[in-house]
Structures are given as C-alpha cells and as structure tokens.
Structure 1
C-alpha cells in the first residue's frame, strides 16, 4: 500500500465516523488553545515587566559602587572594591562592556534670575554619554569634551525651579535652554533673603564661589534615574568640589591616588549584564542594575507561565485519552476490515501506520484549529478584554504593558507539533493492538 492510498484511506475512515472524530478533535482544540493562551500570557507578562523596568532605568547600565570609603580603603594595602583610574581601565577591558565612566557627585544650587533649583550634579566623562544611549529633547545636545561648566539637565529638574522667597510653586518646567544667565554654586541659601539676626553663624562666614554656566540640553526620558539629576564634565565638577571643600575648610585624607564615588558601566548585550555584575561583585564592588530586577521578575513570570501551562496541559492530556478511546472503538468496529486486509496480504506495518496516521491527523487538525482559536483569543485579550485582564494581572505586578498576550512563532509551531505528537502517542497502543489481531478471529467477528 503506497503512501497516497494510506492517506486517502485514513481520511475516509475519519469521515465515516464524523461525530466521534469531531469530538476527539474538539478535545485537542481545547487543550492546544488552553496551553498556547496560558503560555502567551506568561510571555506578555515578561514583556510588561521589561517595559516597566526600562522606564525606570537603562537595562544596559550597571552602577558600580565602592565597598566603603574610597580614601580610607585606598590607604589599605591590596584593598578591594576601590574605584580609581586603574579600576576604570580594568572595567573597560571586561568582555561585553561597551563603555565606562567614573562618577563624582555634588549637591549644588542652580540659579536662573529669581528662581533656583537644588539638585544632585553628576560629573561624568562627556564622550561616553552617547555610548550610553542617552537622548536629549529637540534643540539640545549631550556633553562634549570641550564643555566646562555647561549643564545637561535631567528631564524633571527644570520643574524644580522656584522663588525661594515665595511659598508658591507652579510645578511648570523652566525653559532652561532659553535662560540668558545661569549660575551654579554650592551655597544652598543662594537667592534667599538674608535675615539680620545680629549674630553670624559658621555657615554665614563661608564664601561660596559662583560659576557662570548654561544649559546645553534636557534629557528625553522622564522616568528613569537620569531624570532626577544633572550632568557636568567630570573635570569641571572636580574643580567645583575642591573649591567647596576649601570654602568649608573641610579636611580630607588624600592617598595621592584619585578615587571616585561610583562608576557607570554600559553593557553591550543585556544578556551579559548578570554575568558582568557577578564578576564586579567578585572583585569587591557593590553593583546595582535594572536588569537585576528584570531577572527576578522573569522568574516570577516563568512560575506563573508554568502554572498556567500546567492547567492547559491537563486539558491536552484529557484530549489524548479521548483520541485513544476513539481509536480503540474504531478497532472494535473495524475488526473484520482488519482481518480482510491481513488475508489479502496487507503488510502489518501498513495496518499500524494507518491507525497511527489517523490518530496523528486528529492531533494535527485539532492543534492547527486550536492555534487559530489561540490567535483569536490573544487578539481579544489585547483589545476588547485588555482593561479587565490588566486589572486581574495587576496583582502579579504585570499587565500594564502594551500586549497582555504574545504568541511567538516558535510557540505556534511547537503547539501544532506537540498536538500531533500527542495524537501519535495516543494512537500507538490501538495501532499495536490492531496489528496483533488474529486474521481468523477478525473474520469471525461481525
């Protein structure tokens, strides 16, 4: 019996008992649809988590902090976790690292006319900001190596400007790009009216230097950490920091080797972020990265996906039992037909193939139709039912992304293949039983 005859015979046998075949197919449809939809929710949750974390920070970025006071640790021989120029160079050589900058920070006051804003200013190497994929609003630019005291504003900082002598604060962002005169200083009382109490405190005696500056740009992202600080050329901020310590008469230990508050490491591939963070921690540093949160959330999504997929798997198991029952009943009804096939010389393998193919076809058809229904359900979940499901999934910390359900191509292919495989496995026992039937006994049975 050639393959074409075998396939034709299988289709005729399935169509001969339409109701039973239809019920078996429906079982596979329900099982396949349940698994695909449940798993698609898991993928949607993962995407939602990633989108949520990306809004809080760059997933490619790792913040590296020293394991204690840098100056004190530098004094200790072979101290680990010190961020200095050598450490920065070593980080740049690490596999998978795209860019590194040392970071120093100062809390400064920026003044424009009568309005002032207190903010943390970070000193960074200007040339790496573009590699860090920072984007600025139209009309601005990133820092470059020629900048001195120029300031790159975080997205939210312009909203902090207010008159320190007024109780009213509009919350409206100041157009810092159009400011004709702007100063930056370490004097946190800048712009405030001096109250004459007759006595001068130690802070009143400190004379702070004021630096002329200007805004060169405002960062685009309003949600991540960069939105709540300002950036300056690290060499310029080092000069300001020295002047502040001098004005405040602060005594600091100097080991002769420059140390930094922290470092920012840009990882080229976010999949390498966890490994690079581990290597840095092994070297004695503390690290923080949004990708760490993502890994934790992915584990949560996998757990939810496993539970939902298991529920769908039970449905497919029930469908497999239905296929087995259908094929066994088919053997009882076609006992004489099997006997005739054996008498006229049909190959035992052909008989086995026929029953396996019938079971496989039930699985394939059910899987394919189930996949179509899965895409329909997924579409409804992402449109009509989106708000309702978002509220339900909110308890898991997700459901806020653009898509609640996502069916990858590989899942679609795997679902049909799995359903077909389930059909073949469910048909194995009935096929073997049909092959082992005695020809004489089969012909006697009506």
Structure 2
C-alpha cells in the first residue's frame, strides 16, 4: 500500500467524521494554546526584568565589600587589570548635615569622593561642574526643593492633610527654594557623633554642580557630594568607605569579576542578578510548562476516544485491508497517522491563537494593572507580559503531537489484532 494511498485513506475517514474530528482538534488546540500562553508569561516576565537590570546605569560596576578602604597597592593592582577603567572609593558620611540658605533649612546625607577619579567617569551632572577644592560641593537634583522655611512647612502640612483625605500623599516637592541655586553659598553644620546634635561651628560651601534626576520618579535626591579633602579637614567625621570598580563594557564584567574573586576580593555586581534570575525563571517556566502539559493530557482523552471509536467503526474495513494483504504495521500506521494529523492540526491552530492572545495580553494587561493600582501615571510601557519564542512553539508542538500519537497508539494496536473472519462477518 503506497504512502499516498495511506494518506488518502486517513483523510477520507477524517472527512467522513468531520464533526467528531473537528471537536477533537479543537480540544487539542485549546490544550496546546493553554500551554504556550501560560509558559509565555514566564518568558515575558523574565525578559522584562532582565532588560530592566541590563538597562541600569550601574550594570558595568563591581562593588567591593569591606569596612576598610583599599590600600594604594591594592588600588594599583585592580586598576592594572584588563578592562578596568576606574577604581573609585566613596565615603558615606554616617550622620546628616544641616544646610542653611537665607531663612531656609534642610537636612541631607553626604558623600566624599576623589574628584580626579570621579572626573574620569561619564558626567552625572545636570548643571555645573565637579568641585575643584574642599569648599565646593555638588548637590542632588531635589536639593533646592528640600530647603524649607516655616511658611513652606505650613503649606506642606496643609497639602498633606488634604492629600490624606483623598487617599493620596503629597511629597512636598512643589515647595522649597525657587531661585537659582547654582553658584550660591550655603552654610553647613555637621553633627557631633557623640551627642548626635549639630555642632555650633558652621562652614561655608559654594554649590558648583547639580546632579541629574534619579532614574525613578519616586526617588528624591537631596544629597551633598564633597571632595575627599573634606575628611582631611574634618577628621572627626565618621565615614564608611564603599569602593566601586568600573569596567569598560558589559561583556567584560564577568571576566573581571571572576579575576577579582580569584584574588580573594569580596565583590558583587548587578550582573550576577541576571544569572540568578535565569535559574529562577528556568524553574518557573518548567513549572508552567508542566501545568500546561496537564491540559494537553486532558485533551488526549478526547483523541483516545475518537480513535477508539474509529477502530470500532472501521472493523470491516480493517478486515478487508488484511484480506488483501495489508500487514499489521500498515494498519497501525494508518491510525497513528490519523491521531498525528489531529495533533498537528491542533498545534497549528494553537500557535495562531497563542500569538493572538499574546498580543492582546501585552496590549490590555498593562491597562488593567494600572487601573488596579489606581495610578494614572503608572508606566507599564517597559513591561512585556507575554513573549512566545520559537523554542517554546517547537517544545509545545512537540509535546502536543507526541501526546496525540501516544493517545492513538493503543487503539491502533487494537486494530492490528482484529481477526479477518470476524471483521468480514460484521454487518455493515
């Protein structure tokens, strides 16, 4: 029996029972589509979170742990490593700083850095320049808005009460100093680490630069950036070192990170989150695929019933085929081909439906999430909830067709065991 004759035989009988076959194909389609769409959520969330991490400005940075700053010898050793651009140590001041400008005051946290090393990095200033001496400072983007007087505080208190009544909150950024703050002189008071009170002694600094706005709208930056010379002039200040190693490109972060670990440095990079993220989502996607496969297994019950009925209805035809010389393997192949066609048609339809559902999910779900969070300005544009890679289509299709063939195997084996005489005696 030629292959084209086998194919004609299968298609003829599928057409003859098209209603039953159509319903079985739809069941296979629903099961496969459920698997693809469910797993696509895992791929989508992984891609969105991974993209968010890789787009961070500090993705090419390596942080060095430890309470003690690097020695000059260690600094030189790291700087001489391939692909290392700058080794920068920032000193975080432990206590807050009081700033006075005219009748306004603000409290800020401070950092001190080596300005020569800072100048080697891409500029993070929105205006001005870096300090060139100990009496110059750079302030955060919201520094001026945090300089408040009594009238501002009363307005903020009133607006906060109104916002609270409406179920929202007021950040106070609409108040503060409205004038030009660049190149203005401000008076700073440092805190006594023993008494935790501000010292009477004050120091005058000139604001020569303003940092860029933070990456996220909800962050408020009113910090002060000093030259490292401040720590020499104010030796009583308590500061904690934090060393950052800047690598030239993203591709070279992991090699430099591994080299530092081999040299017994305690280091960490945000790119390590990507490795941990990939492992987490691998397990997560396997779980989703497992759950989705259950739906295909449920659909396989329909395929099994369809093929069992097909064998029962075609008992006489099977007897005729055997009588004219068809081998058991040919009989089995005919029914396996039919179950495979059902699985293939269900898979093709499932892929088409899945891509359509994926598009709808990515278009509608951000709006639903924004509405649920009751935030009109919620930016969901960067989040992709569903992605269907080719690998997922091939995997889901393979599972669907395999399960379909497996569902038809038992009825096909039953067909090969039908006796010719018994089959020919069966009434039409």
Local SS of the residue matching 1:214: strand
Matched, 1:404 2:385: yes
Matched, 1:359 2:339: yes
Counting only pairs closer than 5 Å after superposition, residues 21-60 of structure 1 correspond to structure 2 as 21-47=21-47, 49-50=49-50, 58-60=58-60
How far 1:21 moved relative to its partner? 0.9
Deviations 1:374-421 (A, max 9, x none): 233333333345444678899xxxx96633333233223322232122
CA pair 217-229 structure 1, distance change in 2 beyond 3 A:
closer
How far has the Cα of 1:32 moved from its partner?
1.2
How far the C-alpha of 1:242 sits from its partner, in A, is 0.5
In structure 2, the CA distance between the partners of 1:275 and 1:181, relative to structure 1 (3 Å rule), is: closer
Aligned CA distance change for structure 1 residues 34 and 358 (closer, same or farther; 3 Å): same
Give 2:350's aligned residue: 370
**Superimposed CA distance per residue, residues 59-95 of structure 1 (whole angstroms, 9 cap, x where no aligned partner):** 55443231x4x2xxxxxxxxxxx63344445555779
- 1:123: how far off? 1.5
Instruction: Determine whether 1:428 maps to 2:420.
Output: no
Selected match of 1:416 from 397, 403, 417:
397
Aligned in 2, Cα 1:180/1:10: closer, same or farther, shift over 3 Å?
Answer: same
**1:362 positional shift:** 0.8
- Contact 2:182-2:209 within 8 A present in 1 as well: no
Q: Which residue of 2 aligns with 1:256?
A: none
For residues 146-182 of structure 1, what are the alpha-carbon distances to aligned partners after superposition, in whole Å with 9 as ceiling and x for unaligned? 9657755544444323459974676248899964523
CA contact (8 A) 1:356 1:431 kept: yes
Distance 1:260 1:105, change over 3 A: closer
TM-score normalised by L of structure 2:
0.70
Is 1:311 equivalent to 2:286 in the alignment?
Answer: no
Uncovered stretches (5+) of structure 2, i.e. residues with no partner: 157-171, 192-196
Deviation at 1:25, TM superposition (A): 0.9
Q: Give the alignment's TM-score, normalised by structure 1.
A: 0.68
Contact 1:65 1:83 in 2 (8 A): no
The alpha-carbon deviation at position 355 of structure 1 amounts to: 2.2
Q: Is the 8 A contact 2:104 2:148 kept in 1?
A: yes
For residue 129 of structure 1, what is the aligned residue in structure 2?
121
What is the aligned length? 394
2:89 paired residue among 99, 102, 119: 102
Contact kept? 2:36, 2:392, Cα under 8 Å:
yes
Q: Within 1, Cα distance between the matches of 2:308 and 2:84?
A: 61
Matched, 1:214 2:208: yes
C-alpha distance in 2 between matches for 1:340 and 1:162: 98
Instruction: Check the 8 A contact 2:97/2:110 in 1, yes or no.
Output: yes
- 2:189 aligns to what? 187
Q: Determine the C-alpha separation between the residues in 2 that align with 1:347 and 1:276.
A: 65
Q: Distance in 1 between matches of 2:320 and 2:81?
A: 74
User: Are residues 1:161 and 2:147 paired?
Assistant: yes
What SS is found at the alignment partner of 1:221? Answer: coil
